[in-house]
Structure 1
Protein backbone atom coordinates (compact mmCIF):
# COMPACT_ATOMS: atom_id res chain seq x y z
CA UNK A 1 0.00 0.00 0.00
CA UNK A 2 1.45 3.38 -0.95
CA UNK A 3 0.08 6.84 -0.37
CA UNK A 4 1.31 10.14 -1.83
CA UNK A 5 1.28 13.19 0.41
CA UNK A 6 1.99 16.85 -0.29
CA UNK A 7 3.33 19.19 2.33
CA UNK A 8 1.77 22.63 2.51
CA UNK A 9 4.95 24.65 3.13
CA UNK A 10 7.24 23.26 0.42
CA UNK A 11 4.82 21.89 -2.15
CA UNK A 12 7.00 18.77 -2.50
CA UNK A 13 5.40 15.38 -2.50
CA UNK A 14 6.74 12.30 -0.82
CA UNK A 15 5.66 8.73 -0.94
CA UNK A 16 5.24 6.73 2.23
CA UNK A 17 4.38 3.10 2.45
CA UNK A 18 2.30 1.44 5.08
CA UNK A 19 2.39 -2.29 5.52
CA UNK A 20 0.54 -4.65 7.78
CA UNK A 21 2.61 -6.10 10.63
CA UNK A 22 3.95 -9.56 10.01
CA UNK A 23 4.77 -12.19 12.55
CA UNK A 24 8.41 -11.07 12.58
CA UNK A 25 7.57 -7.38 13.16
CA UNK A 26 4.66 -7.72 15.57
CA UNK A 27 5.44 -7.05 19.20
CA UNK A 28 5.77 -10.09 21.42
CA UNK A 29 3.90 -10.03 24.73
CA UNK A 30 6.02 -8.42 27.41
CA UNK A 31 7.33 -10.67 30.14
CA UNK A 32 6.42 -9.63 33.70
CA UNK A 33 9.17 -7.71 35.46
CA UNK A 34 11.33 -9.40 38.06
CA UNK A 35 9.98 -7.23 40.85
CA UNK A 36 6.32 -7.60 39.88
CA UNK A 37 4.92 -7.98 43.37
CA UNK A 38 1.21 -8.13 44.06
CA UNK A 39 -0.37 -4.76 44.57
CA UNK A 40 -0.20 -3.73 48.21
CA UNK A 41 -2.69 -1.32 49.63
CA UNK A 42 -0.83 1.85 50.61
CA UNK A 43 -1.03 3.34 54.06
CA UNK A 44 -3.22 6.39 54.42
CA UNK A 45 -0.96 9.43 54.49
CA UNK A 46 -1.11 11.97 57.29
CA UNK A 47 0.02 15.55 57.14
CA UNK A 48 3.42 16.23 58.67
CA UNK A 49 3.36 18.23 61.90
CA UNK A 50 3.87 21.95 61.44
CA UNK A 51 6.36 24.06 63.32
CA UNK A 52 9.36 21.75 63.21
CA UNK A 53 12.77 22.88 61.95
CA UNK A 54 13.48 22.34 58.25
CA UNK A 55 16.21 19.82 59.12
CA UNK A 56 13.63 17.55 60.76
CA UNK A 57 11.57 17.40 57.53
CA UNK A 58 14.68 16.75 55.43
CA UNK A 59 15.76 13.89 57.70
CA UNK A 60 12.24 12.46 57.76
CA UNK A 61 12.01 12.38 53.97
CA UNK A 62 15.54 10.96 53.73
CA UNK A 63 14.57 8.12 56.09
CA UNK A 64 11.45 7.36 54.01
CA UNK A 65 13.51 7.24 50.81
CA UNK A 66 16.12 5.02 52.48
CA UNK A 67 13.40 2.62 53.63
CA UNK A 68 11.89 2.40 50.13
CA UNK A 69 15.32 1.71 48.65
CA UNK A 70 16.22 -0.86 51.31
CA UNK A 71 12.96 -2.74 50.68
CA UNK A 72 13.58 -2.71 46.91
CA UNK A 73 17.12 -4.01 47.40
CA UNK A 74 15.96 -6.76 49.74
CA UNK A 75 13.29 -7.75 47.21
CA UNK A 76 15.95 -7.96 44.50
CA UNK A 77 18.16 -10.27 46.59
CA UNK A 78 20.65 -7.87 48.20
CA UNK A 79 20.86 -8.96 51.83
CA UNK A 80 24.28 -7.67 52.91
CA UNK A 81 25.47 -4.05 53.13
CA UNK A 82 28.75 -5.04 51.47
CA UNK A 83 26.87 -6.02 48.31
CA UNK A 84 25.05 -2.66 48.14
CA UNK A 85 27.49 -0.04 46.85
CA UNK A 86 26.25 3.42 45.94
CA UNK A 87 26.08 2.43 42.27
CA UNK A 88 23.66 -0.43 42.97
CA UNK A 89 21.53 1.68 45.29
CA UNK A 90 21.31 4.46 42.69
CA UNK A 91 20.44 2.05 39.88
CA UNK A 92 17.71 0.60 42.10
CA UNK A 93 16.41 4.13 42.74
CA UNK A 94 16.20 4.74 38.99
CA UNK A 95 14.42 1.39 38.51
CA UNK A 96 11.73 2.11 41.11
CA UNK A 97 11.28 5.75 40.11
CA UNK A 98 12.92 7.54 43.04
CA UNK A 99 15.22 10.53 42.61
CA UNK A 100 18.96 9.83 42.77
CA UNK A 101 19.93 9.35 46.43
CA UNK A 102 22.82 11.23 48.01
CA UNK A 103 25.82 9.59 49.66
CA UNK A 104 24.15 10.13 53.05
CA UNK A 105 20.97 8.36 51.91
CA UNK A 106 23.03 5.48 50.47
CA UNK A 107 24.75 5.13 53.85
CA UNK A 108 21.34 5.04 55.57
CA UNK A 109 20.18 2.31 53.17
CA UNK A 110 23.19 0.15 54.08
CA UNK A 111 22.50 0.75 57.77
CA UNK A 112 18.91 -0.41 57.31
CA UNK A 113 20.03 -3.57 55.51
CA UNK A 114 22.25 -4.49 58.47
Structure 2
Protein backbone atom coordinates (compact mmCIF):
# COMPACT_ATOMS: atom_id res chain seq x y z
CA UNK A 1 0.00 0.00 0.00
CA UNK A 2 1.61 3.34 -1.02
CA UNK A 3 2.18 5.97 1.62
CA UNK A 4 1.43 9.62 0.87
CA UNK A 5 4.45 11.87 0.90
CA UNK A 6 4.37 14.61 3.49
CA UNK A 7 5.42 17.99 2.25
CA UNK A 8 5.52 21.45 3.77
CA UNK A 9 5.06 23.16 0.42
CA UNK A 10 1.67 24.81 -0.22
CA UNK A 11 -0.47 23.30 -2.96
CA UNK A 12 -0.44 26.49 -5.00
CA UNK A 13 2.29 29.05 -5.26
CA UNK A 14 -0.33 31.79 -4.93
CA UNK A 15 -0.91 30.71 -1.32
CA UNK A 16 2.61 31.62 -0.29
CA UNK A 17 2.97 34.83 1.66
CA UNK A 18 4.55 37.62 -0.30
CA UNK A 19 6.21 40.69 1.19
CA UNK A 20 4.16 43.86 1.12
CA UNK A 21 5.19 46.43 -1.48
CA UNK A 22 7.68 49.00 -0.28
CA UNK A 23 7.24 52.73 -0.57
CA UNK A 24 3.60 53.06 0.41
CA UNK A 25 2.44 55.50 3.08
CA UNK A 26 2.17 54.08 6.60
CA UNK A 27 -1.63 54.49 6.55
CA UNK A 28 -1.84 52.04 3.64
CA UNK A 29 -0.08 49.31 5.64
CA UNK A 30 -2.26 49.97 8.69
CA UNK A 31 -5.49 49.76 6.69
CA UNK A 32 -4.25 46.70 4.77
CA UNK A 33 -3.49 44.80 7.98
CA UNK A 34 -6.79 45.95 9.52
CA UNK A 35 -8.70 44.56 6.51
CA UNK A 36 -6.87 41.23 6.75
CA UNK A 37 -7.64 40.99 10.47
CA UNK A 38 -11.30 41.86 9.88
CA UNK A 39 -11.57 39.18 7.18
CA UNK A 40 -10.03 36.52 9.42
CA UNK A 41 -12.42 37.42 12.24
CA UNK A 42 -15.47 37.54 9.95
CA UNK A 43 -14.65 34.10 8.57
CA UNK A 44 -14.20 32.72 12.08
CA UNK A 45 -17.56 34.15 13.18
CA UNK A 46 -19.34 32.84 10.09
CA UNK A 47 -17.85 29.41 10.77
CA UNK A 48 -19.28 29.48 14.29
CA UNK A 49 -22.76 30.37 13.07
CA UNK A 50 -22.85 34.15 13.50
CA UNK A 51 -24.61 35.25 10.31
CA UNK A 52 -26.18 38.54 11.40
CA UNK A 53 -24.20 41.70 12.18
CA UNK A 54 -26.56 42.44 15.05
CA UNK A 55 -25.42 39.27 16.82
CA UNK A 56 -21.73 40.15 16.34
CA UNK A 57 -21.10 42.57 19.17
CA UNK A 58 -17.66 43.85 20.09
CA UNK A 59 -17.41 41.35 22.96
CA UNK A 60 -18.17 38.39 20.68
CA UNK A 61 -15.70 39.59 18.05
CA UNK A 62 -12.99 40.08 20.68
CA UNK A 63 -13.71 36.61 22.10
CA UNK A 64 -13.23 35.17 18.61
CA UNK A 65 -9.93 37.06 18.36
CA UNK A 66 -8.81 35.55 21.66
CA UNK A 67 -9.67 32.04 20.40
CA UNK A 68 -7.62 32.69 17.26
CA UNK A 69 -4.73 34.17 19.29
CA UNK A 70 -5.12 37.54 17.55
CA UNK A 71 -4.67 40.82 19.40
CA UNK A 72 -8.03 42.27 20.46
CA UNK A 73 -9.45 44.33 17.60
CA UNK A 74 -10.25 48.01 17.90
CA UNK A 75 -13.77 49.41 17.62
CA UNK A 76 -13.01 50.33 13.99
CA UNK A 77 -11.99 46.75 13.17
CA UNK A 78 -15.13 45.44 14.89
CA UNK A 79 -17.24 47.71 12.65
CA UNK A 80 -15.39 46.35 9.61
CA UNK A 81 -16.13 42.77 10.72
CA UNK A 82 -19.85 43.56 11.00
CA UNK A 83 -19.78 45.20 7.57
CA UNK A 84 -18.13 42.11 6.08
CA UNK A 85 -20.74 39.86 7.68
CA UNK A 86 -23.54 42.09 6.39
CA UNK A 87 -22.12 42.20 2.85
CA UNK A 88 -21.37 38.50 2.75
CA UNK A 89 -24.98 37.40 3.20
Give every structure 1 segment of 4 or more consecutive aligned residues whose post-TM-superposition deviation is greater than 2 Å.
none
Q: Between the two structures, name the one with larger relative contact order (CA 8 Å, sep ≥ 6).
A: 2
Q: Over alpha carbons, which structure has the higher Rg?
A: 1
More strand by share: 1
Aligned residues: 74
| Offset from partner CA, 1:72-101 (integer Å, 9 cap, x none) | 000000000000000000000001111000
> What TM-score do you get using the length of structure 1 for normalisation?
0.63
Give the secondary structure class of the aligned counterpart of 2:72.
Answer: coil
The alignment yields a C-alpha RMSD, in angstroms, of 1.2
Unaligned runs of 5+ in 1: 1-40
Q: Which has the higher helix share?
A: 2
* Structure 2 unmatched runs, 5+: 1-9
